[in-house]
Amino acid sequence: MRHVATKPEPQIVKDVHHPLEHYFRSERLPHIWCSGCGLGTAMSCLAAAFGHLKLDVDDVSVVSGIGCSGRLAGYMRPDSYHTTHGRALPFATGLRVALEKTKPGHKVVVFSGDGDLFSIGGNHFIQAARRNIDLSVFYVNNFNYGMTGGQVGPTTPMGAKGTTAPYGMFEHPFNLPYLAASSGAPYVARWTTLHVHRLQKAMEEAIQKKGFTFVEIIAPCPTNYGRRNGLPTGLDEMRYYREEAVIENFADPKDAEIIPGKPFIVGTFVDEDKPDYLEIYQKFVADHFEVAAK
Ligand code: SF4
């Protein structure tokens, strides 16, 4: 007798949940980021860091500015704020200070991009680092303004092409670990989206540390940066990180500049303890006003 194979019934698996799903607004996914973009990887690392630290969604807030990175605030479940351009840091500062009385251990995470933190928001960055405001700043560096069409910005490496620099960038870019360290940040690190475990660990260290902590995350933008600079897919950019990223902890931040086609340093640059803004402020108030009131 001829055996007729029957098509198996599809198995519908119910009630299976991702262990980190409570950190996401799943109803808003899938995200809008391009194929090969590094933002999804950076967001996954952030959720994994929250999970590893066992952070309750009520114990952390996420603040973003404008740009492709700003979308993250809409995708994450903790109270999240998609603020105006360049103002993620002042908004986060106000939030952190306001919560000190009612939720003193509350974590405020800023997840943002080039324009927001280093051009229109550049002054806010150096002032927040100088004051040592207790914020964890996760900055995605894809070397251009992705959302607005690939214009060059303050982190575009010398010689790299963008829509506003078709013959190549001729301005010096910021060396961000050096800028953060010299502005006073007590924790400064840089990783790429290739180094997911190290990136997650750096995020955990930054969240746990009191004070202004800064992690630069080098990430692909194949749509607007990569394809103009000989790295047309996300994979090409990841290959570039594998070939050129040199892991070196506690290197001098002055040596952290990025030159296309040359090796660049990733790792922890600064990890030190110093009193944060609120600690100094509260001591000042106690010394000058509460004593006078007695
Ligand atoms: S434009 Fe660039 S940064 Fe924006 S989503 Fe696309 S790949 Fe990502």
**Considering the domain boundaries, does residue 146 fall inside one?**
yes
Asked if residue 226 belongs to a domain, the reply is yes
pTM higher than 0.75: yes
Q: What is the pLDDT of residues 278-290, one digit of tens each?
A: 999 999 999 998 7
Convert the pLDDT of each residue in 183-223 to its tens digit: 999 999 999 999 999 999 999 999 999 999 999 999 999 99
Other CB atoms within 10 A of residue 215 CB: 26
How far does the centroid of ligand 1 lie from the alpha carbon of residue 144, in Å? 10
For the domain that residue 41 is a member of, what is the CATH number? 3.40.50.970
Minimum CA distance residue for ligand 1 atom 6: 34
pLDDT digits (tens, 9 = 90+) for 96-122: 999 998 998 899 999 999 989 999 999
- CA distances, 195 to each of 130, 199, 239 (Å): 29, 6, 12
Tell me which residue range forms the domain holding 244: 31-293
Please state, as a whole number, how many other Cβ atoms lie within 10 Å of the Cβ of residue 146. Answer: 28
Specify the amino acid at residue 125: F
29: pLDDT strictly greater than 60: yes
Instruction: Give the Å distances, CA to CA, from 165 to 152, 233, 259.
Output: 7, 21, 16
**Ligand 1 in reach of 144 Cβ (< 6 A):** no
Residue 199 lies in a domain: yes
- Distance, CA of 108 to CA of 123 (rounded, Å): 19
Q: Is 72 in the pocket of ligand 1 (CB under 6 A)?
A: no
What crossing angle do the helices spanning 196-208 and 39-52 adopt, rounded to 10°? 50
3-state secondary structure of 221: coil
Tell me, using a 6 A CB cutoff, whether residue 231 lines ligand 1.
no
Q: Within a domain: residue 215?
A: yes
pLDDT given for residue 182 in this prediction: 98
Ligand 1 center to residue 224 CA distance, Å? 7
84-45-101 Cα angle (round to 5): 55
Q: Is 222 in the pocket of ligand 1 (CB under 6 A)?
A: yes
- Average confidence score pLDDT of the chain: 94
**Residue 154, preceding peptide bond in cis (omega within 30° of 0):** no
In a domain, 21, yes or no: no
CA-closest candidate to residue 26, choices 12, 38, 43: 43
SS3 72: helix
* 57: confidence class by pLDDT, cuts 50, 70, 90: very high
Q: Answer yes or no: is the C-beta of 224 below 6 A from any ligand 1 atom.
A: yes
Tally of domains in the chain: 1
Ligand 1 atom closest to 225 (CA): 2
**23 lies in some domain:** no
Q: Which pLDDT score is estimated for 292?
A: 58
